[in-house]
Amino acid sequence: MHTDSVVVSLAQLPYGQCAQVVDFDGGRAMVQRMVMLGIRRGVPLCVVHGPGSRGTVVQVGGARIALGRGVTDKIRVMPIMSSAAAASAVHQKAAA
């Protein structure tokens, strides 16, 4: 399902690209905040706006979340090959 094993920051994903969260480079408080927002290791997400100099909007489950550039630089993701398949996975996780 993955295009390859390349891990990049969320800030590097283009509009419309979906990915799976792999890790966080931030501190404990940042990781806790991401978990509270539903952004956890293994969770698929899709870029629905941006990326821009001020940040990115991602869809996680049924929610859209705006994240600043500093935060998106610290979230490590693995791009998913098919955006349609990833969008389906995002909606399935939300329904569970």
Burial (CB < 10 A; 0-12, 13-18, 19+), residue 19, is buried
User: Using omega within 30 degrees of 0 as the cis cutoff, is the peptide bond preceding 14 cis?
Assistant: no
**Is residue 56 one of the residues assigned to a domain?**
yes
pLDDT at residue 5 in the model: 73
Contact between residue 68 and residue 54 where contact means Cβ atoms under 8 Å apart = yes
For residue 12, the domain's CATH number is 2.30.30.90
**Is residue 34 one of the residues assigned to a domain?**
yes
**Is residue 1 one of the residues assigned to a domain?**
no
| pTM listed for this prediction | 0.78
**Is residue 37 one of the residues assigned to a domain?**
yes
**Is residue 55 one of the residues assigned to a domain?**
yes
What are the pLDDT tens digits along the chain (96 aa)?
444 579 999 999 999 999 999 999 989 999 999 999 999 999 999 999 988 888 899 999 999 999 999 999 999 999 997 545 555 555 555 555
**Is residue 51 one of the residues assigned to a domain?**
yes
pLDDT at residue 1 in the model: 44
- For tokens 């969770």, name the residue: 43
pLDDT at residue 59 in the model: 96
pLDDT at residue 4 in the model: 52
The parent domain of residue 42 ranges over 8-95
Residue 10 token pair: 């969320």
**Is residue 2 one of the residues assigned to a domain?**
no
Domain count, the chain: 1
Which residues is 24 bridged to in the sheet? 75
pLDDT at residue 31 in the model: 95
Q: How far is CA 77 from CA 11, 37, 95, in A?
A: 10, 16, 22
pLDDT at residue 96 in the model: 56
Q: How many CB atoms lie within 10 A of CB 16?
A: 10
**Is residue 3 one of the residues assigned to a domain?**
no
Contact between residue 21 and residue 43 where contact means Cβ atoms under 8 Å apart = yes
